[in-house]
Amino acid sequence: MSHYSNSQSDKKQLNQNTVIIGKRYRMIREITIPSKSHPNDSQNWKTYLAQDTGITDNRLCIVKEIPLPADYETVSSQQKDKWDRLVAIQQKLGTYPEIPQIIAYFVDKFHLYIIREYFEGKTLAQQLSNCSFERTEALKLFLDILDVIAFLHSHNLIHGNIQPENIIQLKSNGKYTLFDFDNIHQVTLNEAKLVDNKIATLLINTNSFFSPEQSAGQPIISSDFYSLGKTVIYSLTKSFSAYWQEEKQEREVVQEIEPQFKKILKKTIVPNVNARYHNTREIFQDLSKIENISTIINSGSVDYASENLKMTKINAQSQPAKIPQKNVKSKTKKSKILSILAGMMSLFAMIAIAELVNPYIRPFYFTLKGKQDLIKEPQIALNQFQKAIDTNSKYTDAWQGRGEALFSLKRYRSALLAYDKATELQPRNALAWKGKGDVLFRLERFDAALTAYNQSLQIAPKNPELLNRQGHALYKLERPEEALQAQETALEIKPNYAQALSDRGVALIELGQYQQAFDSFEDAQAIEPLNPEFWQNKALVLQKIGREPAALRLYEEALKAYNKKLQKNPQDVTALINKGNVLVKLKQYSEAIKAYERVIAINQNYHLAWLNKGNVFFALEEYDKALKSIDRALEIAPESYLTWYDRGSLLRDGKQDSQKAIASYEIATEINPNFYHAWRELGVAYSQSGQQNLALKSFQTALEIEPEDYRSLVGRGVAFLALDKIKEACEAYNKAARINSTFSPAIEAIEKLGC
């Protein structure tokens, strides 16, 4: 049986006038390929089953037909290079035993044709149409496909379309393998922008084999692990469920799976990419803990990954120039011949030296050009850094510059890949670690950001900027005392460091030291009087101490300062975001929305603009518009636990939909299990929906993370009261009041119950 479906709905028979291409490949029928996780150019490609009439047995083959533009002959060499690279990647894939090899490729009548081997077998989708897998077969499936993935990843390639329709069990050896490599991605060039069409839903564990980031058009290495995990789970349960708790039948299946294998599968499909496996080596290490695993591996798996898991970059190796050999006739004097030969040898020596120096001089030049363009033209700078990398893939400065350019373009995941490469090449590069920390900070991975900043500080311990960045991360991790200490250390080294003074003030606000915070902002403003952020921060202090009119006056000053800044640079998206935030404080909501929409007009994939816009609509009680904006933010940044948290609050408090709110809060806690606010609000949602025992568990989790969270204690009191447990409710309320004696919900409950 073919590895493509034989149903009439999946093929289009060619007419009696048989089509032959390349003078030998007779087309039999068109084959339908399952859709990708997101639209791309390959959706216009066609696939045919064909016969190779150029060999005696008319062997079957697969023909991929790729349309070329009508002006193909005149298109740029850069575009032609793109197609050459496509073929080169496809040829490289064929070096793996269970991936069909490229037989030939050619251009004919404005189409690029790639001819590939035909493999006979049965797709996983066909096998699962009437049954599900036993645990042993599922483990074999996992091992076989993981082996193929290991091969792809070792060449910095991502498959990007792993699902049952694209997995075949070969008739020749019974091994499972992948086909349809149309959607292949190069990791180092993973710059795909988000798709324009709306993603139907971003709730995790919907009916899809694709990860949130892949559904948003930004696949990474672990996206393949996610799809493999989902596929294996589906083979066992015929369900897409991540946790397999919905149906009794699914629970029975799970109980039969080895606990270690179940643990591995769960780790492949967590929505937080940082919590997934990072490479195949990690997975194989965990698989080795399964009893009798070697027996299964030896039954047919090549185990390429266990032999060679080290990631390597695809490099175009220059072929040494072949010097044409000419017969030199002796028609001149011997001395003239020797002179000519000496001149030729000198020329060849110069060429050799140029080729030797080229990998060092050219990347330096391109990197220098990139740095010059970085501030005003980050996209142009990115192109320069890529040229440097293409010339010398181990040039650290180019990878670091690439990270800086991508960071400026708000393409944070790709920037992280660049900084990872820079720190791998040069582990003692403090600036590369700092850049990596900045990217992780923007991705809300504050623990990882702190680790990167700490690594940078080990190399440059007296750098005030690094110390201040460390303070940023500590503050976001709700460790204000440590944040304050880091900023004060930075100020000891650089007393006139305005940003550190401002950040010191923010930490002091969190610690309730309002006068000291205000003074710190004043000191910062004395150094940088035109910085609008300092007006904004001073206003925040006045708000905290109840001086609302004075705070509003300072917000007006901040607004004026942002307007002046934007007159100089209307494209300053950070200033526009902050201006919108100030307008929200001034309750000028329509103007705030305009500010955020200006950001979106400049960069439609700016996550924070969509999120803030949604929160403004929430404040205006326009809940449908709010949800639409927040969902767009999640299309861009599906791993943003803060956005999932805001979505939960909107659904619970705005749309009064506790069940959907619970789903959003749960995703927030999955992405960041230490975010106690989400556990607390999840508890409130459970309580509102009448699930008091689940509410108590959520509040308890929040309190284990933050024992002083008096709001969670009040939540526990409410849940206990609903269960008629008056004594436990009083204990919770009294403890909350001891932590915060002015918190009215606790005080009122104590008085009402007579605790």
Q: 41-52 pLDDT, tens per residue?
A: 555 788 899 998
More confident residue, 637 or 487: 487
Query: Are 562 and 582 contacting, i.e. CB atoms less than 8 angstroms apart?
Result: yes
Rounded to 5 degrees, φ, ψ at 158 are -115, 135
Query: Are 589 and 619 contacting, i.e. CB atoms less than 8 angstroms apart?
Result: yes
The CA distance from 517 to 539, in Å, is 11
The CA distance from 59 to 117, in Å, is 9
Residue 56 is predicted with a pLDDT of 67
Residue 534 is predicted with a pLDDT of 93
pLDDT of 708-722, one tens digit each?
999 999 999 999 999
Instruction: Return the percentage of the chain with pLDDT > 70, whole number.
Output: 79
| CATH superfamily name and code, 122-307 | Transferase(Phosphotransferase) domain 1 (1.10.510.10)
Find where tokens 């008056």 sit. 726
pLDDT of 131 strictly over 70? yes
Residue 246 is predicted with a pLDDT of 45
pLDDT of 517-550, one tens digit each?
999 999 998 888 888 999 999 999 999 999 999 9
Instruction: Return the percentage of the chain with pLDDT > 90, whole number.
Output: 51
pLDDT of 268-293, one tens digit each?
998 888 889 988 888 988 887 776 66
Report which of 195, 215, 194, 190 is spatially closest to residue 204, judged by C-alpha positions. 215
pLDDT of 669 strictly over 50? yes
Q: What is the pTM for the complete model shown?
A: 0.53
The CA distance from 362 to 370, in Å, is 12
pLDDT of 135 strictly over 70? yes
Strand blocks (E) in 135-259? 157-158, 167-170, 176-178, 185-186
pLDDT band at 69 (very low <50, low <70, confident <90, very high): confident
- Amino acid, single-letter form, for residue 28: I
* Two structure tokens written together for 546: 């109840």
Q: Give the contacts of 170 (CB within 8 A, at least 6 positions apart).
A: 98, 119, 120, 121, 176, 177
- Amino acid, single-letter form, for residue 124: L
pLDDT of 263 strictly over 80? yes
Does the fold of domain 531-629 match that of domain 122-307? no
Mean pLDDT (whole number) for 561-580: 93
pLDDT of 659 strictly over 80? yes
pLDDT band at 337 (very low <50, low <70, confident <90, very high): low
The CA distance from 397 to 385, in Å, is 9
First CA to last CA distance, the chain:
75
What single string gives the DSSP state of each residue in 100-167? PPEEEEEE-SSEEEEEEE--BEEEHHHHTTS----HHHHHHHHHHHHHHHHHHHHTTEE----SGGGE
Q: Which residues sit opposite 63 in a β-bridge? A: 48, 115
Name the fold adopted by 531-629: 1.25.40
* Two structure tokens written together for 143: 């091992």
* Two structure tokens written together for 140: 């074999």
pLDDT band at 504 (very low <50, low <70, confident <90, very high): very high
Query: Are 52 and 103 contacting, i.e. CB atoms less than 8 angstroms apart?
Result: yes
User: How much of the chain is in helix, strand and coil states, percent to nearest 5?
Assistant: 60, 5, 30
* CATH number for the segment(s) 640-755: 1.25.40.10
Name the fold adopted by 8-117: Phosphorylase Kinase; domain 1 (3.30.200)
Query: Are 219 and 148 contacting, i.e. CB atoms less than 8 angstroms apart?
Result: no
Query: Are 592 and 580 contacting, i.e. CB atoms less than 8 angstroms apart?
Result: yes
* Two structure tokens written together for 441: 């900070």
The CA distance from 727 to 106, in Å, is 81
pLDDT of 454-468, one tens digit each?
999 999 998 999 999
Report which of 455, 509, 507 is spatially closest to residue 482, judged by C-alpha positions. 507
Residue 301 is predicted with a pLDDT of 39
Report which of 274, 271, 296, 273 is spatially closest to residue 284, judged by C-alpha positions. 296
3-state secondary structure of 314: coil
Residue boundaries of the structural domains of the chain: 8-117, 122-307, 531-629, 640-755
pLDDT of 203-213, one tens digit each?
444 557 888 88
Report which of 189, 181, 192, 172 is spatially closest to residue 148, judged by C-alpha positions. 181
The CA distance from 486 to 704, in Å, is 26
Other C-beta atoms within 10 Å of 281: how many? Answer: 15
pLDDT of 393-409, one tens digit each?
888 999 999 999 999 98
Residue 609 is predicted with a pLDDT of 96
pLDDT of 158-194, one tens digit each?
888 899 999 999 887 788 999 877 667 665 433 333 3
More confident residue, 82 or 560: 560
Residue 709 is predicted with a pLDDT of 95
Residue 3 is predicted with a pLDDT of 41
Secondary structure in 3-state letters for 600-652? HHHCCCCHHHHHHHHHHHHHCCCHHHHHHHHHHHHHHCCCCHHHHHHHHHHHH
pLDDT of 220-262, one tens digit each?
899 999 999 999 999 998 876 545 544 444 455 555 678 889 9
pLDDT of 350-407, one tens digit each?
444 444 344 556 777 788 788 888 888 899 999 989 988 988 888 899 999 999 999 9
pLDDT of 336 strictly over 60? no
Find where tokens 């940044």 sit. 637
The CA distance from 409 to 613, in Å, is 20
pLDDT of 137 strictly over 80? yes
Average pLDDT value for the chain: 81
Q: Give the contacts of 87 (CB within 8 A, at least 6 positions apart).
A: 102, 105, 112, 114
Residue 328's Cβ-count burial label (10 Å; 0-12, 13-18, 19+) is: exposed
Query: Are 682 and 665 contacting, i.e. CB atoms less than 8 angstroms apart?
Result: yes
